[in-house]
């Protein structure tokens, strides 16, 4: 199963420990995470189900190509990494 991980910055705002979750696309893995943590959905996705502008997801060190539907493929052993873009000065 793919491993879903979050930056410590996100974990300060939500309980989102790393976990191995089923799924063959990014959205499938996230949906599995949302089942145990529904609050996480609204933090990562907008009301259209698209990735929020301040959130980035990488699969094995490569940014997801599909930020709208999150259909990027993942395989067993892949790392799906979610982090919040920081701004300010």
Question: What are the distances in angstroms from CA 8 to CA 15, 37, 44, 78, 81?
Answer: 10, 17, 15, 20, 11
| CATH numeric code, 3-84 | 3.10.20.30
CA separation for the pair 66, 75 (Å, rounded): 16
Partners of 32 in beta bridges? none
Tell me, what's the pLDDT at 14?
82
CA separation for the pair 39, 15 (Å, rounded): 9
Tell me, what's the pLDDT at 37?
92
6, 83 Cβ separation under 8 angstroms: yes
Per-residue pLDDT of the chain (89 residues; tens, 9 = 90+): 999 999 888 877 788 899 999 999 999 999 999 999 999 999 999 999 999 999 999 999 999 999 999 999 999 999 999 998 766 55
CA separation for the pair 60, 74 (Å, rounded): 9
């Amino acid at each position: 199963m793919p491993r879903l991980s979050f930056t410590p910055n996100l974990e300060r705002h939500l309980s989102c420990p790393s976990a191995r979750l089923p799924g063959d696309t990014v959205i499938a893995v996230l949906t599995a995470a949302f089942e145990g943590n529904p609050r996480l959905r609204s933090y990562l996705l907008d009301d259209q189900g698209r990735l929020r502008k301040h959130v980035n997801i990488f699969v094995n060190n490569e940014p997801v190509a599909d930020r709208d539907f999150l259909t990027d493929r993942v395989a067993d052993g892949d790392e799906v990494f979610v982090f919040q873009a920081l701004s300010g000065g």
